[in-house]
Amino acid sequence: MKILAIESATESASCALTQDGKVVAEFTLQNKQTHSQTLLPMIDAMCTMTGTRPEDLDVVAVSRGPGSFTGLRIGAATGKGIALPFDKKMASVPTLYGMACAIREAADRLIVPVIDARRQHVYAAGYSAGKDGTLVEELGECVISASTLAGKLQTLDKPVLLTGDGAKAVLPALLEAGLDVRVCPPSLCYARAAGVALAAEGMAARGELISSDAMAPEYLRLSQAERKRREAQNPAGHPAENPKESPTGKEA
């Protein structure tokens, strides 16, 4: 199975090509350029260097979120634009799950990917390795503060491996809570398209692929513009309810 994967949920712009679970090529840029400037040229260069045509692909996999609203929309549009003309199936890969798949060999620890969500919160999830090497979700995707995340990880009572651009933000709270925590080295502590592709392999085997029409980002929280709109419509000053986010930071 040949998979083209796109990761654009964070500042990293990344694309990868895998063949039957082997990473054939992966391009990643972290140079502050917008994903609209980098993704298509990277994908074109990668496919040219590997001799890959769009019609050769079996699956187009895209990181669906959570993450940067703009980045996710660019990634979804790019993936759909490649898949639709050739009627290719797509894999809508949870961003945090894709990040965990990229380092799932760290099976002796609970893998906790964290992405900066701003407003003193992070997007987080937790995964442990199953008996067959697959990942088991221990903490579902959520928008959460560092202190609340520490409490939830205390309940799970497992050594933790942090990855993602939110790792430094939550590390002090986790250490203060007495958790056994390690942080991935900088060379691994970012979202990678290879992880998206590896996650898509499992999704394809489980029959979880979708059509390009069904591909859409999932944000977990309201955009800044939507929050301001709700605040303007709520003059009493009560918190506007977000159907995807509870006061504790958990998905409702």
Any idea what the CATH number is for the domain that residue 7 is in?
3.30.420.40
What is the band of 235 on the pLDDT scale with cuts at 50, 70, 90? low
Whether 159 shows a pLDDT value over 90: the answer reads: yes
Q: Which amino acid does the sequence have at 138?
A: E
Distance CA 4, CA 86 (A): 13
Which structural domain, as residue segments, surrounds residue 173?
Answer: 104-183
22 exposure class (CB count in 10 Å sphere: 0-12, 13-18, 19+): exposed
Whether 205 shows a pLDDT value over 70: the answer reads: yes
Q: Does residue 122 lie in a domain region?
A: yes
Distance CA 119, CA 58 (A): 39
Q: Does 174 share its domain with 122?
A: yes
pLDDT in tens, 160-182: 999 999 999 999 999 999 999 99
Predicted local confidence at residue 251, as pLDDT: 34
The pLDDT of 89-113, averaged and rounded, is: 92
Whether 65 shows a pLDDT value over 80: the answer reads: yes
Q: Does residue 236 lie in a domain region?
A: no
Q: Does 144 share its domain with 21?
A: no
